[in-house]
Amino acid sequence: MRKAVTIGSRGSSLALIQAELAAARIKEVNPHLDVNIVKISTKADRDGDVLLDRIGGVGVFVKELEEALIDGRIDLAVHSLKDMPTEIPPGLCLAAATERQDPRDVLISRAGKLAELPTGSRIGTGSFRRAVQLAARRPDLKAEGIRGNVDTRIRKVLSGEFDAVILAAAALIRLGWEDKISEYLPLEHFLPAVGQGAMGIEIRAEDEEIAEIVSSINHLPTWQSVAAERAFLSALGGGCRAPIAALGTVSGGTLRIEGMASNKSGSRSLRAAEEGDAAQPQAVGMKLAQRLLSMGASEFIEEVKAG
């Protein structure tokens, strides 16, 4: 019987908190295990001031962790699930998702809520998805690229470099900084990134012992929701950097997923929802993708791919 498990994590405060949450859950269910956390530096962390599109975009937060998994240096990696590409390297797999935290986006500003920001205010976000949804609500504001950890982004607001930033609610909640939130942005206008608010556990595909250990902390409704969202994203072919959003929710045996795709400017946007059997989440997500594609979403995806 295995006596120890090594978790790989990025070195940011948020990433380590998430790894510690996963470690605590594993230890709770498997008290005989010695659970260790190893910090692994990623290119995205090292190039913290460079916009993601310039350092590779998709997968930049997970690549080094995946290499450590393949090399056997760690037994599992804990990711913010929204950072995980839908295409996982051969030999690895997404094995579990912990219970989802609040999936919404939030605004942090020096001037109150979104409706109260003066015309021309500079809003920091590194996300096409957030930028296009912001443009739909407040076209008079300026969405500008921003990098750095959560605390760095907040400091840029406090220092006046930006008038506000849009971040994931889950990040602020896990860091214990809910008091810094100016407004929770409504899902009807700001649909979240695929997987936002959930933590994903990645392992070596053939490691049955680790698979059994992490299955003990898998939260089924979250797993079903994010499986649908990731199938939706994969079927659209958009990747993590395209202006695509989705949120799945499970009630009883029914899974409902709402999705959005937009062109780069945000001037054209498509949004729809589908429901289906929660036990077949990928099928529900793919059905929604096909619906958006039939509505013209493929044009948006090609626009992003073309740069």
By annotation, the residues acting in catalysis are 83
198, 63 contact by CB (below 8 A)? no
Question: Rounded to whole angstroms, how far apart are CA atoms 182 and 179?
Answer: 8
Question: Rounded to whole angstroms, how far apart are CA atoms 170 and 26?
Answer: 20
Identify the sign of the CA torsion 146, 147, 149, 151.
negative
CB atoms within 10 A of CB 33: 16
3-state secondary structure of 12: coil
- Angle among Cα 305, 230, 14 to the nearest 5 degrees reads 95
Q: Rounded to 5 degrees, what are φ and ψ at 281?
A: -65, -40
